[in-house]
Amino acid sequence: MIFCKEDLIIVDKIRGVIPPMITPFKESGDVDYSGFASNIQKWNNDRMAGYLVIGSNSETVYLNEEEKLELVKLTVENSAPGRVVMAGTGLESARETITFTNKCARLGAHCALVLTPFYYGGSMTTAAMIKYFTTVADASDIPVLLYNVSKFTHVNLSAEAVAELSRHPNIVGMKDSNGDVPQLATFLRVADPSFQVMTGTFSAWYPALALGVTGIISAMANCSPNEIAEVQELFDAGKWEEARDLYQRMFPVNGAVTGSFGIAGLKFATDYCGYTGGYVRNPLSDSSEEDKKKLAAILQKAQVADKRGK
């Protein structure tokens, strides 16, 4: 999956599931580094292709640089051999993104997932995006992937930008988290054949597989990675109805942990499934007891086993 060519690190096309890993916090608000490392060690036994550290579901916007770099270091140290370590390195300026990306590279991250800058959203035109990502990729010591998540940024990469950026030698792919299947199909159509378009949400997983997508970076992979992997395995085996049925069964779980109940709900579901979810960091609030009951009912209906305390 990762190899060297002409002194450059190349990330080959990813097949399978990558969790945008949560960051467990202690009740005090401190990062639970032990719980974080424990999760990776458990996930090493699950059907995964790698790990995304300090992505959106990591509560990255609430972390300082020291905490972020420690999480990258722990991911590299605890990840099973052969798995991709992807670091979310996007900041608002090209200069800061390059600096932080190369710090992560020195810690052993294989590639960088770079969020679209968004604060001055009205100025984030196609030309601005092309300039920004080209500048970042030119100076990055590891391959770069584009990260398109309009839910948080209110910015949407254009097909024109993806078409041009996909031909940059150090931009190897993208995570599109919008769940817009027609847009996903457009990105696949206009991008260079060597460029990997991955879906960033389980809600688009089955149609994405039908379009030829081979990789997914899904919040739900924190709690139910094997079910996501099984959808792909069934689809690849030609068992399309079984794949569709499992996708439909797990669909409400995805809606709950990525929408209705937010990061706190995702952390409860992660705890429920036997990993370490932990607390959220202020200003987020932990799930109420009522929300936990609702989430538990959704997980039970999806036939997800309660592994708390086991």
Instruction: Please confirm, yes or no, whether 175 is among the known catalytic residues.
Output: yes
In the structure, how many helices (H) and strands (E) does the chain have? 12, 10
The terminus-to-terminus CA distance of the chain in angstroms comes to: 33
Catalytic choice (68, 151, 175, 294): 175
Rounded CA separation 219/57 (Å): 7
Q: Which of 175, 160, 161 is nearest to 90 (CA)?
A: 175
Alpha-carbon distances of 132 from 7, 21, 163, 169, rounded to whole Å? 24, 26, 15, 15
Residue with tokens 């209906």: 301
Interstrand relation of 16-18 and 8-11 (parallel, antiparallel or unpaired) = unpaired
Tokens of 174: 């993208």
Rounded CA separation 280/187 (Å): 34
Sequence-distant (6+) residues with CB within 8 A of 242 are 234
Rounded CA separation 58/90 (Å): 13
Residue with tokens 């809606």: 255
Residue 292, H or E segment: helix 289-301
CA 175 to chain centre: 7
Tokens of 53: 């550290």
Positions marked catalytic? 175
